[in-house]
Amino acid sequence: MKRWLACLLGLLLLGGCANSRPIDQIQIIQQMGYDFKDDQYIGTAVYPTFKQGPMTKPNMLTTSSPTVYDLIPRLSAKSALPIEEGQLRLILFGKQFAERGIEQITHSLARNNKVGSHLFLGVAEGSAKELLDITAKTTLSDTLYLPNLIKQNEQSMNLPKTNLHLFLYRYFSPGSDPFLPYFEKKGGFVKLEGVALFRDGRYVGHVDLRDSFLMKILLGETKNGVYQLKVGERGKQGEDRVMLQNLWAKPTYKWRRDGDRHVLDVFVHIHASVRDYPSWLDEPGANLFTDVKKKMEKELEQDMRRLFHYFQEKRIDPMGIGDFVRSVTRRWDRESFYREYPDLDIRPHVTVDIIHTGIGE
C-alpha cells in the first residue's frame, strides 16, 4: 500500500513539472538590437538555426513599431516558433536610440525573470541592426561573437567590467554613472572601440580603449590591460614608444579640503611589465629605464588628469567619485556635491614599478 502511494505521489509531482520542449521547436534569441530611425523603433533578434551535429547558423528577425514596448510581440508575429529569451547574451543599442535613453529597456530587463543579470549591454556607433547583420554574415557559426568579444577584452585587455547588474547598480546609485562597451563598423567587421558614457540613462559620449585602460585601473580592476607611452624623441617615428602591460594596480582616493575648496587626491600604484621598447634603451652602460619610469609616471598623470577633466565637462561620474565622497562624509548631499563636481580639483599621483622588461625587438 505504501509503495503504491509513493508511486502515485511521484506521478503527481512529475505531472506538475513544466513541459519540456525540443530545442528545434523554439526560437532561442541570443542577441537583440534596438534602433530608432524615422520616428520608428526597430528591433532586431539574432538566433541560431541548429543543423546536423553541433553546427549552428546565425539568423535574424527584424521588425519596427512606433513604441518600444511591443517589439518582442511583433517579432513573435514573424516567427514560426515560440520566442524564448532565456539564453539572451547581449543587448546592443544603436547610438540614436541610446541618445534618447535606454531606461525603458533596462528596467524591463530587470523585471524579466528569464534574463540573467550577467547579460551584456553595448552601444553601436551607427545602427545596431547593421552591426548584428555584419557579425551574422562574417562569423558563420558563432552566434555569440559580440558577447565573447566583450568577455575576452574584460578578462585580458582594456575594457572595464560591465553587465546588466553593474549598469543598474551604477544607474541607481546616487554617486556614479553607468557606462557600456562601444562598437564601431570597420570595413566589413565590427570592432570594440572603447566605452560609451551615460548621464541619466542617456548616451552623452565615449572614450577610446586607451582611456578605458585608465578607467579600469581607477576602478580598481587591478589585472591586465596594455598602454602605449611615448618615452623619447630618438630614432624613427614609432621607435620612441614603450608598450606597458599592467600586472597589478591599486588606486587610493583621499578627500580633503585645501583652503576654500575640496581636493581629491588619487594615488595609483602600478606594477607593470614592459612588453616592448625601443632598441636604444638597451645601450650598454646606460641605466635609461630610470628616466623612462619617470616619463611613464608623468604621462599617466597627465592622461588621467585629462580624462577626469573630460568627465567633469560632460557632468558625468563613471568613476563613482560621488560614492567615495559619500562614504567618507557624514552629511553628504548629492545636489551640492555635483554642483561642485565640474570645478573639483582632482590630482592624480602615479607610481610605476617595472617588474621585468621582456625581450625588445
pLDDT digits (tens, 9 = 90+) for 7-54: 666 655 555 455 555 555 677 788 999 999 999 999 999 888 766 555
pTM: 0.87
Please report, as a single letter, which amino acid is at residue 171. Y
pLDDT at 114: 82
Greater confidence, 222 or 305?
Answer: 305
Q: In the chain, pLDDT over 70 holds for what percent of residues?
A: 82
Query: In angstroms, rounded to a whole number, what is the distance separating the alpha carbons of residues 94 and 123?
Result: 6
Residue 101's nearest CA partner among 25, 199, 183 is 199
Average pLDDT along the chain:
84
Q: Which residues pair with 42 in a beta bridge?
A: 35, 64
Greater confidence, 245 or 211?
Answer: 211
Q: In the chain, pLDDT over 90 holds for what percent of residues?
A: 51
Average pLDDT over residues 83-90: 82
Average pLDDT over residues 101-126: 89
pLDDT at 259: 81
Structure confidence at residue 355 as a pLDDT band (50, 70, 90):
confident
Interacting residues of 70 by C-beta distance below 8 A, sequence separation 6+: none
Residue 164's nearest CA partner among 85, 57, 236 is 85
E runs forming strands in the chain: 27-28, 31-37, 40-50, 56-65, 83-84, 90-94, 120-124, 179-186, 189-199, 202-208, 226-230, 241-258, 261-276, 345-356
Least confident of 20-34, 66-80, 259-273, 346-360: 20-34
Angstrom CA distances, 304 to 29, 250, 351, stand at 40, 14, 13
pLDDT score of 244 more than 90: no
Greater confidence, 212 or 16?
Answer: 212
pLDDT at 4: 63
pLDDT score of 238 more than 60: no
φ/ψ (deg, to 5) at 66: -75, -15
pLDDT at 312: 97
Average pLDDT over residues 329-345: 94
pLDDT at 361: 40
Domain extents in the chain = 23-213, 222-361
Question: With respect to CATH, is domain 222-361 assigned 3.30.300.210?
Answer: yes
Interacting residues of 240 by C-beta distance below 8 A, sequence separation 6+: 230, 231, 232, 233, 234, 278
pLDDT score of 360 more than 50: no
pLDDT at 325: 96
pLDDT score of 348 more than 90: yes
pLDDT digits (tens, 9 = 90+) for 260-307: 889 999 999 998 887 777 776 666 555 656 777 888 899 999 999 999
Q: Please name the helix (run of DSSP H) or strand (run of DSSP E) that holds residue 155, with its range, or none.
A: helix 145-156
What distance separates the 2 farthest-apart alpha carbons in the chain? 94
